[in-house]
Amino acid sequence: MSDEPAVHEGEVEAALVAEWPGLRLAYVEFAAEPGATPPALRDRLRLLSDRFRGPQAIAMRRQPIPHAYRVFFRHIGLDPDEERVPVEALALERMKKGGFKSRNALDDAITIAVMETSVPVWALDGEAVSGPLRLRAAAEGEPLGRGDVTLDLPGGRLVVADDAGALAVLFRQVAPGVGVTPRTRELVLFSVAVPGVPPIHVEEALWTVWDILS
């Protein structure tokens, strides 16, 4: 589609590229107003729930993309059987709750994108982002967050950052003060591809969220 937002390549710290060739940060920026889930999106989420059942969940970890994230999790010290890769976490939630539960338009769009591509997507308030995104290791004691609420990071923790500092811990939480709120009018969606994940899947995940919200 000609109106698709450009996918920007975030800088990945040279030491990380050397250790994990193919590690990639990608992001898109566009205007959007978060809000309640419209009926058509709710129906789409319900159809996704109906299509995705126990056998698919069991087979998921053997599929190439989820497996690539599981391998990378172990490389960075995360146990994927305890701290699930994003697509597996959503699949487990669907199994426990009997379906993908609707939350809001943005979260529902991300759920659909992740389940259709197996690639994780996170959202930031565009007004809180200063400059291009990059993937790097945190400095010891570096603050995570903006404003009055921040967290101190351990040195070496992998983070997504902008010119002003850390925005999110990789595969974990988005920092306080930079997440999407009802006042958000500009979105920044980002995704991280690990070695073994084809670039086209990353673009598809980001564009799927944009297409649903637009």
Per the structure, the complete domain to which residue 69 belongs is given by 8-213
Q: How far apart are alpha carbons 176 and 68 in whole angstroms?
A: 29
Q: Give a yes or no: residue 196 inside a domain.
A: yes
What is the pTM (predicted TM-score) of this model? 0.92
Q: How many structural domains comprise the chain?
A: 1
Q: What is the pLDDT of residue 149?
A: 74
Q: Is 5 helix (H, G, I), strand (E, B) or coil?
A: coil
DSSP-assigned letter for residue 174: B
Q: How far apart are alpha carbons 180 and 122 in whole angstroms?
A: 10
Q: How far apart are alpha carbons 192 and 177 in whole angstroms?
A: 21
Q: How far apart are alpha carbons 109 and 192 in whole angstroms?
A: 17
Contact present, 180 and 125 (Cβ < 8 Å): yes
Q: Report the CATH number that the domain containing residue 122 is assigned in CATH.
A: 3.50.40.10
Q: Give a yes or no: residue 138 inside a domain.
A: yes
175 vs 147, which has greater pLDDT?
175
Q: Give a yes or no: residue 107 inside a domain.
A: yes
Q: How confident is the model at residue 1 (pLDDT cuts 50, 70, 90)?
A: very low
**Beta bridge partners of residue 22, listed in sequence order:** none
Q: What is the pLDDT of residue 57?
A: 66
